[in-house]
Amino acid sequence: AHYIDDPYIETPIEREPLSDEIDIVIIGGGFGGLLAGARLREAGIENIRMIEKAADFGGTWYWNRYPGAACDIESYVYLPLLEELDYMPSEKYVHAKEILAHSRAIGRHYDLYEGALFQTEVRVPSPPSMITRSRSAKSSLLTVSRALNVIAVPLSRTSSSSDFRTVSSDLSCTSSKFFL
């Protein structure tokens, strides 16, 4: 069960249920969601609500913090919005820590932290289309009316693990998390 929990937060966020009139809901705080939010801000759309299960932006790179984690694609191609943020990656294949920092920089640059809901899970009863028009979507934490929903989450959103024994009981890992 500890694979489901976020090991990078000390205290979970607690908030009252929200009922908002917002124009666009972006589900997912990885590069897809960050790019959607950035382009919407550039277009002058301010009434955005980003929803992310993790405690910060970064998507996959929020979770991938195991020793030596790095991107196997050239950073100049992989990292979005380099020109807009006037940023040059430190090396050809950047490590996870720098990718996570870049994700956070995008969030700050485009003011996406404003109104973002972190540690918030969206549950949908059936597979949604990539972009849907919704009159009302309700959960225990958020009620959204008349919003355009942009879903920007990876296909594999949950961890998978195999049944194997380790030499040390202090070590466990999944496809998306690494614990010491």
Are 99 and 82 a contacting pair, CB within 8 Å? no
Range of lowest pLDDT (79-93, 132-146, 150-164) = 132-146
More confident: 90 or 154: 90
Q: Right CATH number for 18-154 from 3.30.479.30, 1.10.3720.10, 3.50.50.60, 3.20.20.210?
A: 3.50.50.60
Range of lowest pLDDT (28-37, 69-78, 104-113, 148-157) = 148-157
- Please state, rounded to an integer, the average pLDDT across all residues of the chain: 78
Please state the rounded mean pLDDT for residues 17-38. 89
Q: Could you tell me which residues come within 8 angstroms of residue 66 by beta carbon, excluding any fewer than 6 positions away?
A: 96, 173, 177, 178
Please state the rounded mean pLDDT for residues 9-32. 86
Q: What is the pLDDT of residue 2?
A: 61
Q: What is the pLDDT of residue 80?
A: 97
In the chain, where the domains are located: 18-154
43: which 2 tokens? 């277009």
CA distances from 165 to 36, 66, 146, 170, 175 (A): 41, 18, 50, 11, 16
* Dihedral sign, Cα of residue 174, residue 2, residue 106, residue 70: negative
Please state the rounded mean pLDDT for residues 155-175. 47
Q: What is the pLDDT of residue 127?
A: 52
More confident: 69 or 65: 69
| Residue 17 banded pLDDT, cuts 50, 70, 90 | confident
Q: What is the pLDDT of residue 177?
A: 46
More confident: 4 or 90: 90
Answer yes or no: is pLDDT of 102 > 70.
yes
